[in-house]
Each structure stands twice: as structure tokens, then as C-alpha cells.
Structure 1
């Protein structure tokens, strides 16, 4: 396991320790970076219907990071968690 993978796993644990819930924008950013870092491009995922507002927002956030490599997405996820934790 690489150092980046270890940092990514630690960030996943650390994000659960936040004292307050992040904003919806922050949550969508975390979701998108997590999905891009673990699953890759959203192009293979089925686009949610127009009445699934939450699913659609998540999908749209994920497609905004299209083209980002898995490693870059993981690094950005770690940086985002660090920012939310005030590090």
C-alpha cells in the first residue's frame, strides 16, 4: 500500500471526527473526490433520474472532477479533509 493510499484511508477515518457537519458543497466535494479516487470516471455510472435530487447532485459533482486521476483525486480528498479539520 502506498503512502497516498494510507493518507487517503486515514482521511476517511478523520472526516468522521469532525465536530460539525460540513456544508452541502463541502460534502459534495468530498463525495466526488472519494468516488473519483476509488471508482474512477462517472461515465460508467447510471445517471440518476430528475426526481432523485440528492443522487443527481452527487452525480453532477462527480462528473465535475472528470479527467482527474485516481491519485490526484485521493490527494485532493486528503487536502480537503485537512482543510475541514483546520490543519
Structure 2
């Protein structure tokens, strides 16, 4: 199975977890997904001060700056696999 196929399967599995992952796990998933699919975050797009959720998501993504698409995909797949092991699938 190619890395892209593993990534696509992990993305589908992430939405079928039995329970809700922790906020930090969700931020890590989001950051790796965005880095893998979009690339580096543009600092000019950072949400405003009062958008706490948007800002947290953006900051998590911006922390992945410079990571390659393949590295981000591998990190995403690994995180989903660890969540499946701890939470399980529906």
C-alpha cells in the first residue's frame, strides 16, 4: 500500500473513532493533515486574537513548518494508528 493510500485510509479511520481524542491529539492530527495536504502555513493567514480555536489550530500547523509532505503523512498515519489502538474504531 502506498503512502498516499495509507494516508487516505487513516483520514477515513480518524472520523470513525469510537470516542473523541484529546484536544492535543486533535491539534496534532489537524497540523499534520494540513502540512501534508497544503504545505507550510502562511503567517498572514493567522486568525485574530479572539478566535482562540482557530488560532490554536493555526499555531499547531505553523509549528510543522518545513516538514515534508511525506513526513507529515507518516506522522498523521502513525498518530491515527495510535489512536485506534487506544480508542478503537466504531
Which runs of at least 4 in structure 1 moved beyond 3 Å after TM superposition? Answer: none
Q: How far 1:43 sits from its partner (Å)?
A: 2.3
CA distance in 2, matches of 1:34, 1:66: 13
| TM-score, length basis structure 2 | 0.90
Aligned residues: 86
| TM-score, length basis structure 1 | 0.93
CA distance in 1, matches of 2:68, 2:4: 14
Q: Secondary structure, in 3 states, of the residue corresponding to 1:31?
A: helix
Q: Which residue of 1 aligns with 2:56?
A: 57
Q: Which residue of 1 aligns with 2:37?
A: 38
Q: Which residue of 2 aligns with 1:15?
A: 14
Q: Secondary structure, in 3 states, of the residue corresponding to 1:42?
A: coil
Gaps of 5+ in 2: none
Gaps of 5+ in 1: none
**More helix by percentage:** 1
CA distance in 1, matches of 2:70, 2:19: 28
